[in-house]
Amino acid sequence: MENKIVEIFIPGPAGRLEAKYYKNQKITSPIALVLQPHPQYGGTMNNKVVVETFHAFMDNGFSVCRVNFRGVGKSDGEFDNGQGELADAAAALDWIERENFDNSQCWVAGFSFGSLISMQLLMRRPEINRFISISPQPNVYDFSFLSPCPTSGLMIYGKKDELVPVNNINELNKRLSSQKGIKVDFHSIADANHFFAKSENSLRKVLDKYIQKESALF
């Protein structure tokens, strides 16, 4: 079982949630939850960006879980416009915390729609130490709930994101950078589009660098 990614089912508010889980063998290893893009546009936990993020945490000493929201893959239930998906994410976080009650850090990450859900989860769970938000969509979703944003984190976006105008990202950057006591790093990847097609290696480098640097602070 060592160093093995296993399929698990987590009890969720709308039935069971399908998930993939990797447990680091080290006691007090940090934990991370990675959230999928929009279910109604083909998003699943096996999305390339989600899997890349999962492996970045795994290779940097974390126990990590990625989960299919309700109605996706083998998860019970049906799409619930974000409310139910937030409840699913909270159930998944409860589960990985119970499995790793002696964890030293707790991180959340999400891609696209998943970045919105991860940030909403962040506002409700004070134990979360860091976040990674990939391809956030402040032009589609209102991120004003991040006032104040409770913890430092990383926002990664593609310079060629065809779904999000860069001025929306810049506005979000301005709002978050004016908050005291936290630091939200905004990192753009030059040739990347919203889905990081052909830019997975660049994304991975940014993820590894940030995870290594920030997890060492605890």
pLDDT digits (tens, 9 = 90+) for 51-89: 999 999 999 999 999 999 999 999 999 999 999 999 999
What per-residue confidence (pLDDT) applies to 1? 42
Separation of alpha carbons 169 and 157, rounded Å: 8
Residue type, position 76, single letter: D
The phi and psi torsions of 9 (rounded to 5 degrees) equal -125, 125
Q: Which residues contact 20 (CB under 8 A, 6 or more apart)?
A: 5, 6, 7, 8, 45, 54, 65, 66
pLDDT-derived band at 25 (thresholds 50, 70, 90) equals: very high
pLDDT in tens, 129-185: 999 999 999 999 999 999 899 999 999 999 999 999 999 999 999 999 989 999 999
The lowest-confidence range among 104-108, 177-181, 204-208 is: 177-181
What per-residue confidence (pLDDT) applies to 3? 67
The domains of the chain, with CATH numbers, are 5-215 (3.40.50.1820)
Average pLDDT for the chain: 97
pLDDT beyond 50 at 31: yes
What per-residue confidence (pLDDT) applies to 2? 52
